[in-house]
Amino acid sequence: MNFFSSTFFLVNVLTGEQIEIAQTPFKIGSGPDSDLRLDDDGGADENCVFQKKGRKTYLLPCNGTGSLLVDGVAFGGGELEPKKDYTLCIGSSFFALYGSSEPKKWAANINTDQWFIVDKNNGSAPHGPHRLRDLASELRTMSDLERVVVACHGLSMGFYAEHILPALETIAGPGIRADYSSEET
């Protein structure tokens, strides 16, 4: 292993699957040429691609897809810094992303079944841990999800609740549905 360059590593935070980005270009999408195939209905053949140039690693959206979020915001592409946690949302798939000379060591510290909730509306400390399958019902008790962030154990970054909640509802099972409005009906 080259200790002077970084290898990036993805962890699917909903399934626990770990993916090493050992070679570039590394394509993510639903197409047959993708290195990581996503099962998103209606997803693009290519959503994004990781590319190395020298010691730098870049993440680039493909074909103008607007469903790529990095750290909760639309991402137009750019360099990824090593030794920094990122969150990556591609359609209904959610990943933790990190680069270092030892990314498996980082991934070993992530527990995708222990989640913490931070409500930035009231400045409260993170509460949890909550099991992944219970996270949707916990979020349903909150009145305004726009400023609520959820993170699994081991990450310094999280996902905005409004982005990840639809995917969590499919994990939680039947009968769990979020009310996206802050008004009582």
Q: Give residue-wise pLDDT tens across range 9-49.
A: 999 999 999 999 989 999 998 888 899 998 865 567 888 99
Q: What is the C-alpha separation between 41 and 55, in angstroms, rounded?
A: 35
Residue 179 included in any domain: no
pTM for the model stands at: 0.85
Cis peptide before 129 (omega within 30 of 0): yes
Same domain, 147 and 122: yes
Give the residue carrying structure tokens 């993805």.
10
Which secondary structure element, helix H or strand E, spans residue 170, and what is its range?
helix 161-172
C-alpha dihedral over 97, 98, 104, 109, to 10 degrees? -80
183 domain-assigned: no
Total structural domains in the chain?
A: 2
Last residue of a domain, one of 108, 130, 157: 108
**Residue 2 domain-assigned (yes or no):** no
Instruction: Give 181's pLDDT tier (boundaries 50, 70, 90).
Output: very low
Domain extent, residue 91, equals 7-108
Does residue 140 share a domain with residue 95? no
Q: Do residue 117 and residue 167 come from a single domain? A: yes
Contact 48, 90 (CB under 8 A): yes
Q: Please tell me whether residues 98 and 116 are part of one structural domain.
A: no
The total number of residues written for the chain in this structure: 185
Residues 13 and 62 reside in one and the same domain: yes
Confidence of residue 102 (pLDDT cuts 50, 70, 90): confident
What is the per-residue pLDDT for 1?
A: 40
115 & 27 share domain: no
**120-153 pLDDT, tens digit each:** 777 677 889 999 989 999 998 887 888 899 999 9
pLDDT higher than threshold 70 for residue 158:
yes
Is-contact 63 43, C-beta < 8 A?
Answer: no
